[in-house]
């Protein structure tokens, strides 16, 4: 497991990022496929986006929720509660140049 840098001490301080291997043969790629399939299944399913005439924001929220829930339930990722509660706030946008 990668050592994690400490969470920032103050609101709006930059969160140090953890390098992620996004190559086609890495673990992230496999998780992305599993999560993507779960999200697509939700979107196309009887309670998903196409069945409910949802807004784009609702579609994104629902797809992300379904994908995260699926990989959490499979035990493929864990929530780092200590880190989640360590910072005074969280960035809501990903730094696009952090992990191309």
**Distance in angstroms (rounded) separating the CA atoms of residues 93 and 100:** 15
| Tokens encoding 55 | 């807004």
74 in a domain, yes or no? yes
> Total domain count for the chain?
1
Range of the domain at 67: 27-86
Q: Tell me 89's DSSP state.
A: -
> Apex CA 86: angle with CA 85 and CA 88, to 5°?
85
pLDDT digits (tens, 9 = 90+) for 47-83: 888 888 899 999 999 999 999 999 999 999 999 999 8
Of 13, 22, 17, 14, give the one whose Cα is nearest residue 5: 17
pLDDT digits (tens, 9 = 90+) for 81-97: 998 888 888 888 877 75
Q: Classify 25 as helix, strand or coil.
A: coil
42 in a domain, yes or no? yes
């Amino acid at each position: 497991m990668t050592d994690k840098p400490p969470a920032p001490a103050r609101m709006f301080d930059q969160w140090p990022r953890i390098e992620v291997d996004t190559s086609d043969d890495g673990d992230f790629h496999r998780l992305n496929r599993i999560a993507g399939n779960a999200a697509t299944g939700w979107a196309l399913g009887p309670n998903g986006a196409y069945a409910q005439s949802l807004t784009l924001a609702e579609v994104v929220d629902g797809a992300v929720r379904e994908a995260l829930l699926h990989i959490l339930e499979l035990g493929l990722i864990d929530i780092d509660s200590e880190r989640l509660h360590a910072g005074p706030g969280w960035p809501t946008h990903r730094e696009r140049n952090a992990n191309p």
